[in-house]
Amino acid sequence: MIEYFAGIDVQIKRGCCYYIIDENKNYVASGWIKDNIPQSFKELFFQTCRHNPNELAIGIDAPRMPIEKLRTRYFDKTKNTWIKRSKASNGRECEVVIKSYNIANPQWTRTYEESPEWMRLGFSVFNLLKEFPFVYEVFPSASYKMLENENVKYELCLTEFNSGVKDMLDASVAALTVFEFVNARGCEVGGDDGLGTIVLPRKILL
């Protein structure tokens, strides 16, 4: 049974921030990690779940992996199907779905060599947390839009918010997004390209 839900906002300059809530959406912990970031998250989360990875779900606001080649499939939301075109582009199919439904504007994933430093850090965090069975990619900007007309509540603690208010808020919404998804109120998009999915706090209305 999952008892804890963690969110990570990945960035370089200030370090990465995290926010953890419990099964009742109450605040557990939050803070910033600046050194040895992937390994530090691994140690933190093992402590949080008392070395039982099945008790923790993690949402990371960063791409799970880079692309190996440019994408040639595009999503037609009117037909809910993929079509092939000659023009090739960056981005993974999970990002394409979110853009097609106008939920949010993704920062298109690129090849590893072309990826900015924060994306590369995100790849490393995902890789080092592979011992945890419930690690998801989230997109807080999409969550804000999907939840903006709902009275969704969770406990918000302002501890260490001053170091980066928007970043810490994104981390908290990442945790909330995973909570909603695990509790069967959300959905998972993409994945047919083998490059990972993004989980959302609500189902997409077709």
Q: Measuring CA to CA, which residue among 39, 48, 34, 37 is closest to residue 175?
A: 48
pLDDT(127) > 90: yes
Say how far apart CA 115 and CA 118 lie, in whole Å. Answer: 8
Q: Which range (15-24, 83-92, 103-112) has the least confidence?
A: 83-92
Confidence check: pLDDT of 78 > 90: no
Q: Could you tell me which CATH class the domain 4-66+110-200 is placed in?
A: alpha beta
Domain ranges of the chain: 4-66+110-200
Query: Residue 206: what pLDDT?
Result: 63
pTM > 0.85: yes or no: yes
Q: Where are the alpha helices (DSSP H) in the chain?
A: 37-48, 93-100, 117-128, 140-147, 165-182
Does pLDDT of 113 surpass 70? yes
pLDDT in tens, 145-189: 999 999 999 999 999 999 999 999 999 999 999 999 999 999 999
pLDDT tens, residue by residue, 27-45: 999 999 999 999 999 999 9
pLDDT beyond 90 at 17: yes
